[in-house]
Structures are given as structure tokens and as C-alpha cells.
Amino acid sequence: MSKAMVDYALIGRRIRYYRKLRQMTQAQLAEYAGTVDNYISMIESGYKKSSLEMLVSICNALNITMDVLLVDNQTTKYLETHSMIEELFSDCTKEESMFVIDAMASIIDTLHNNRYALTKTDL
């Protein structure tokens, strides 16, 4: 079995992306995550490998899940799709999220109930 390689530069770029999406400075993220802005800078640029504990703190500060940071290091399509959904929901309120989830559940239910009518040319 080969050892999995973690691309910390990709993780850093995702942290930077979500920090900017949240309109946070490195200093603000550092304060929320319990570290210093210099350390956040080094993580974002890929010069420093973050501990698991710090990644969890950063995720909590950015209101994202760990899989959002690690998706580029995984090969499964599920995580890629999950990450895309996470991005879409990132600016939604809880009520908006529940509305969208209910709508998605209805669509999936309709698809399942009408599978016989669907063909590949319909999709």
C-alpha cells in the first residue's frame, strides 16, 4: 500500500478562498482560530503544515467542514460533490438551507417515483 500524500498548498489555497469569501483578514481568522496571523499566512501559502487541531479550529472559524479543505486531496467523487454543495449553502441561513433541502428531497422523490419514465436522453 502506498503512502497517501497530502498537498498542504491546496489546503492553504482553500483556506484563503474561504477566508476571503467570508471577508475576513488573516488577523481575524487567526484570532477566531486561536493563533497568530503570521501562522495563517504560512499555512495559506503552503510553507507550514498545520496540525489537525489547528485545521479543525480554522474550519470552525470559517464555518466549513474538514472535507471542504481536504477534497482536493481525495479521489472520490462523493467528496467533490459534497464540497460543491457546501459552497452553495455557505451563505444561506438555516431556514434557506432547509427550504433548499426540502426542494431537493421532493425532486429526488419525484425522480425515484418516475424512474420508469426517464431515459438517458431525458437527462
Low-confidence residues of the chain, pLDDT below 70?
Answer: 1-4, 74-81, 83, 115-123
Domain 1-75 is of which CATH architecture?
Orthogonal Bundle (1.10)
The backbone torsions φ and ψ at residue 95, rounded to the nearest 5 degrees and listed phi first, read -65, -45
pTM of whole model > 0.75?
no
pLDDT digits (tens, 9 = 90+) for 76-94: 656 566 767 777 888 888 8
The backbone torsions φ and ψ at residue 23, rounded to the nearest 5 degrees and listed phi first, read 55, 45
Q: What is the three-state SS of 48-94?
A: CCCCHHHHHHHHHHHCCCHHHHHHHHCCCHHHHHHHHHHHHHCCCCH
Q: Report yes or no: 100 and 89 within 8 Å, Cβ to Cβ.
A: yes
What residue segments make up the domains of the chain, in order of their start? 1-75
* pLDDT for residue 102: 87
